Amino acid sequence: MKRVLDRNQDKAEQIRSLLKDRHVRMYNLISSPGAGKTTLLEQTCRHLGGSLKVGIIEGDVYTDRDAQRLKQYGFPIVLINTEGGCHLDSNSIDGALKEFDLDEMDLLFVENVGNLVCPSHFDLGETAKIAVVSTSEGDDKPIKYPMLFRDARVVVLNKMDLLEYTNFNYDAFVKDLRQVNPNVPLFETSLTRGEGLDGWYRWLEGETNA
């Protein structure tokens, strides 16, 4: 009996212990394309400003567009182009980490490739997975993608400002999410307006001081 993806898992565990050693927390942001990962990072970078030393690993299929959007905040960014690949793996993260001075870093955000299935199967050695989902995608995501929503340590429900224009059933979403992950913190945001982020910031700060 041989376990497939063991190599990815072993590398992820190495990364996890390296980051623990250097007191760096790494958050793996997972969502479908267009849910708001990059905008969440933009808002978060703006908010954290000079208070924490942040690094970003940007997973992108072919382009550097997201990295370009994030450049203005002055934090170091490493871009990983997956050349069509639908997820990041621990080996590519291992390579990217070599580009950072980990002793000069508090927080690392990994923006995974936009996809709800594949990224949730590949441990990157992250401190926690963050799931981002938006009202325009429909309310059935937690039940359809239980692997991600079970593993997520935080769920961000974005585009709350569009709720009234969609058929998103908020109560059904919360009920399904609670079934899959009863205690996960849920933050409801309108990211393009910069609204609803206080809980997220408090969570990040709580983790920093933990």
Partner 1 sequence: MHEVSIVNDLFRIVLEVAEKEKLSRIDRVNFQVGRMMQVVPELFRFAFDSAKTGTIAEKATLEIEFVPVRMQCRHCGHAFDVETQEFHCPRCRGVNLDLLQGKELFIKSIEGE
Chain residues binding partner 1 by CB under 8 A are: 1-8, 85-87, 89, 117-118, 121-122, 143-147, 150, 178-180, 182
CB 132 within 8 A of CB 145: no
Please identify, using beta-carbon distances, which residue of 20 and 121 lies nearer to partner 1. Answer: 121
Q: Closest separation between CB of residue 55 and partner 1, Å?
A: 25
Please identify, using beta-carbon distances, which residue of 85 and 138 lies nearer to partner 1. Answer: 85
Q: Closest separation between CB of residue 1 and partner 1, Å?
A: 5
Q: Closest separation between CB of residue 154 and partner 1, Å?
A: 18
Please identify, using beta-carbon distances, which residue of 63 and 179 lies nearer to partner 1. Answer: 179
Say what the alpha-carbon torsion angle 197, 201, 206, 209 is, to the nearest 10 degrees: 180
Please identify, using beta-carbon distances, which residue of 76 and 146 lies nearer to partner 1. Answer: 146
Q: Closest separation between CB of residue 199 and partner 1, Å?
A: 22
Q: Closest separation between CB of residue 96 and partner 1, Å?
A: 18
- Who contacts 80 (Cβ-Cβ below 8 Å, separation ≥6)? 57, 58, 59, 60, 88, 92, 93, 95, 96
Q: What is the DSSP letter of 150?
A: H
Please identify, using beta-carbon distances, which residue of 42 and 137 lies nearer to partner 1. Answer: 137
Collapsing DSSP to helix, strand or coil, 77 comes out as strand
Q: What is the DSSP letter of 132?
A: E
- Who contacts 12 (Cβ-Cβ below 8 Å, separation ≥6)? 90, 122, 123, 124, 125
Q: Closest separation between CB of residue 167 and partner 1, Å?
A: 20
CB 26 within 8 A of CB 105: no
Say what the alpha-carbon torsion angle 183, 208, 201, 99 is, to the nearest 10 degrees: -110
Please identify, using beta-carbon distances, which residue of 51 and 179 lies nearer to partner 1. Answer: 179
Q: Which helix (H) or strand (E) holds 209?
A: helix 198-209
Among candidate residues 109, 123, 107, the one with its CA nearest the CA of residue 210: 107
